Every structure is written in C-alpha cells, then in structure tokens.
Amino acid sequence: MPNAPLPRRLLLGPGPSNVHPRVLEAMAQPLVGHLDPAFLGVLEGVQASLRRLFGTRNAMTLPLSGTGSAGMEASFVNLLEPGDDVVIGVAGVFGERMSEVARRVGARVTRVETPPGRILEDAAMAEAIARVGPRAVAFVHAETSTGVHQPVEAIARAARDAGALVVLDCVTSLGGLPLALDEWGVDAAYSGTQKCLSCPPGLSPASFSERALARVRARRTPVPSWYFDLGLLAGYYGAERVYHHTAPISAIFGLAEALRLVEEEGMEIRAKRHVEAARALVEALRPLGFTALVEAAHRLPMLTSLRLPDTVVRSGEAALRRRILDRYGIEVGGGLGALAGRIWRIGLMGENARLTHVEALRNALCRELR
C-alpha cells in the first residue's frame, strides 16, 4: 500500500459523500467487544435513531453488515421463496438490480418499466399488482441512476390492498428526505451509510415490519442465506443480544455519530437544506448549458441528473470529469446504461448539500469551459 497521503476530494458524485470529522473520530475510538454492554448501549441508540429516521416503530430495525446491496439482498432472500410472484418497478439501474436479485432467489418477476428520468406510473403498477397478485411489490424511492424521486403511497396502497408486502429501496433517500414507512405501509426498507448519512460505506440500515417477519416465519423453505436470515439476526439485534456474527463495531460507532449529527440538525431542516442546494445547482449550471433531465416535480434533492452541453458530449465528458477531479479535487458522476456519455449525476448528499460546494463546482466548470 502506498505511503503517500491520499488526495482530499469533494465528493459530488452519486455516493459516497464526504464524511464529517466527528464521524471519523468516532470510528477511531478504541475497540470494545461486540457483546460489551458499552457497545450494546451504542447499538441500542443506533437502532432507536434509525426508527425515528425511517418513520417506523418496527422492532427489527438494524444496521445490517454490508453496503446498500446487502439490504436489498436481505429483503428478497427473506421475503421471497422459489416460485413466488413479485412485481418490481424498474425506473433505472437499481430497479434492474432488484429484478436480478429476486430472479436469483427463484421468484417469478413481473417488471413494470418506465423510460429513464420518469417516475413509475401508479396506474401501471396497480394494473400489474391486480393482474399478478404477487407476494411482494418492490421499487426504489430515490433512483440514483436517473435522479427521480418516486412517490410511494399510491403504489404501497395498491400492494397492501392486494395482500402483498411492500419493499422500498431507500439507499439514497435516508437522511436526505423525510421517510414515513409506517404511514406509507412499507414492510421492508433498506439504505446505505455512504449517501445522505455521510458515513463511509459498509452498513445497510434496514427495517422490517411485523408482517414481513410473519412471512419469514411462515416460509416453507429455509432462508437460503445464513448471513441475512432475519430469524437468526433477531437473536443479536433483538432483546437477547446473543452472538450471530461479529458486528462491525467501528462502523457502528461511526453511524452512531452520523445519526447524532442528523438529529442535532433536525430532519426537516436537513431536508430543506438538500432542496435548496439542488435548486441552486440547477440554476448555477444552466448558464453553462447543463439542463435537468427530470421534470421539477419529480426531481430528487440529493442527486441531480443534468444533460450535458453538446460541446461537452462531443469533446468527451469523461475527459472533463477527469480534469475536474485532477485540477479541482471534485468528483462528479457520469451517466449509467442508456444515459452514459449524455448526463452527469451530481450528488449534494448529507454533509455536502451546501451552497459553497455548488459554487466550487460552478467555478471549476466556468474555468474549464471558457
């Protein structure tokens, strides 16, 4: 491993975002055991804070070990069995990933698709749900590949009315948008630490309703993943606190501090800060020829997709991104899939949702494009 210090970056891509120094300090605390009462106190605080942030009373609310995809995997391996029907809203790369995970579990996947940059239509989802009568309905709240903010309630209601469980990907929304899992009727939700919580990647905050846990108990077949079996995880993350796997102690120290920062600021103010930063970004880059991909009503506050000026497309957007990184230390994200080479994805997530960062990016681009 090279000994030279790594460069400092301003991380304005689709995640990770920059980490608050208090979180880094918390992670550097001396280790204690994962069954030490001192650590279990921290874990309890993390679980309580996650319940507040997710907007739920679910007892099974926990920081799963692994990145956001761990939460996705855990949701599908527990709730679905081979041959089960599932309806999945595919509005981008992460809905696509959900379909693939569900397929590997052996579920019969019905996809409801929408063009990049558009929300899933309530009516199309409701029609598929009524036709299929699925075990579960899954979709993404904040589709990081396009910057679309998906409304949840109508789809969740249609799913619940049909007796299906509701799975919601909140990887990019937790800590940036107010969430209300219980009010919306969501049964399984998962997130990641490296987006609007501004922690290093490595944990997947997740929450499962009583209905979801009842489904797990009623399975005909064992959960195919030992690591993510919610019945087993409940031993450690529930009241008993018995060993299942060694909890990532330092990562949980970091998450505890990140959640403290969120609560100190207050979710309402934090959400407003994200909205204002995103608005400023669109305004600041419009004169340079960047235009929003998503219509204003469905635009995410923490991740903005911008169509590139023709000159940038022609001269190679990747080269410009590289210059912004090398010369100014600013990372922005390129497009994925069909949008590769045509858009940039600019994240103003958690700690980074600040007007000073919008200014820094605008100044760098002004210099490079003049």
Residue 171 interacting with ligand PLP (CB under 6 A): yes
CB 138 within 8 A of CB 88: yes
Q: Closest approach of Cβ 264 to ligand PLP, in Å?
A: 25
Name the segment binding ligand PLP (CB under 6 A); options: 29-37, 61-69, 130-138, 343-351.
Answer: 61-69
In the bound state with ligand PLP, the residue whose beta carbon lies nearer, of 17 and 58, is: 17
Of 126, 40, 90, which is closest to residue 337 (Cα–Cα)? Answer: 90
CB 329 within 8 A of CB 9: yes
Tell which one of 63, 68, 301, 335 touches ligand PLP (CB under 6 A).
68
Tokens of 3: 């000994």
Q: Closest approach of Cβ 118 to ligand PLP, in Å?
A: 16
**Count of Cβ atoms closer than 10 Å to residue 239 Cβ:** 8
**Burial of 270 per CB tally in 10 Å (0-12, 13-18, 19+):** buried
Residue 67 interacting with ligand PLP (CB under 6 A): yes
C-alpha to C-alpha distance for 277 and 281, rounded to whole angstroms: 6
Residue 201 interacting with ligand PLP (CB under 6 A): yes
Q: Closest approach of Cβ 144 to ligand PLP, in Å?
A: 3
Residue 169 interacting with ligand PLP (CB under 6 A): yes
Residue type, 23: V
H/E stretch holding 268 reads helix 267-285
Q: Closest approach of Cβ 33 to ligand PLP, in Å?
A: 27
Name the segment binding ligand PLP (CB under 6 A); options: 40-48, 62-70, 324-332, 338-346.
Answer: 62-70
Residue 305 interacting with ligand PLP (CB under 6 A): no
Residue 335 interacting with ligand PLP (CB under 6 A): no
| Strand-pair partners of 306 | 292, 344
Scanning the chain, the segments in alpha helix (DSSP H) are 21-27, 37-54, 68-79, 93-105, 122-132, 153-161, 181-184, 210-217, 230-237, 249-265, 267-285, 310-315, 317-328, 355-369
Residue 152 interacting with ligand PLP (CB under 6 A): no
Name the segment binding ligand PLP (CB under 6 A); options: 65-73, 74-82, 258-266, 286-294.
Answer: 65-73
CA distances to 32, 198, 199 from 25, rounded to whole Å, are 15, 14, 12
Of 310, 309, 320, which is closest to residue 287 (Cα–Cα)? Answer: 309
C-alpha to C-alpha distance for 338 and 256, rounded to whole angstroms: 38
**Count of Cβ atoms closer than 10 Å to residue 177 Cβ:** 20
Tell which one of 65, 114, 146, 172 touches ligand PLP (CB under 6 A).
172
Name the segment binding ligand PLP (CB under 6 A); options: 137-145, 215-223, 236-244, 257-265.
Answer: 137-145
In the bound state with ligand PLP, the residue whose beta carbon lies nearer, of 16 and 134, is: 16
Residue 117 interacting with ligand PLP (CB under 6 A): no
In the bound state with ligand PLP, the residue whose beta carbon lies nearer, of 45 and 201, is: 201
C-alpha to C-alpha distance for 347 and 332, rounded to whole angstroms: 7
Name the segment binding ligand PLP (CB under 6 A); options: 5-13, 45-53, 160-168, 169-177.
Answer: 169-177
Name the segment binding ligand PLP (CB under 6 A); options: 29-37, 149-157, 168-176, 214-222.
Answer: 168-176
Residue 15 interacting with ligand PLP (CB under 6 A): yes
Tell which one of 32, 59, 69, 369 touches ligand PLP (CB under 6 A).
69
Residue 192 interacting with ligand PLP (CB under 6 A): yes
Residue 17 interacting with ligand PLP (CB under 6 A): no
Question: C-alpha angle 275/278/283, rounded to 5°?
Answer: 125
C-alpha to C-alpha distance for 118 and 111, rounded to whole angstroms: 15
**315: Cβ contacts below 8 Å, ≥ 6 apart:** none
CB 145 within 8 A of CB 114: no
Q: By CB under 6 A, how many residues form the interface with ligand PLP?
A: 15
Question: Which parts of this chain interact with ligand PLP (CB under 6 A)?
Answer: 14-15, 67-69, 72, 94, 140, 142, 144, 169, 171-172, 192, 201
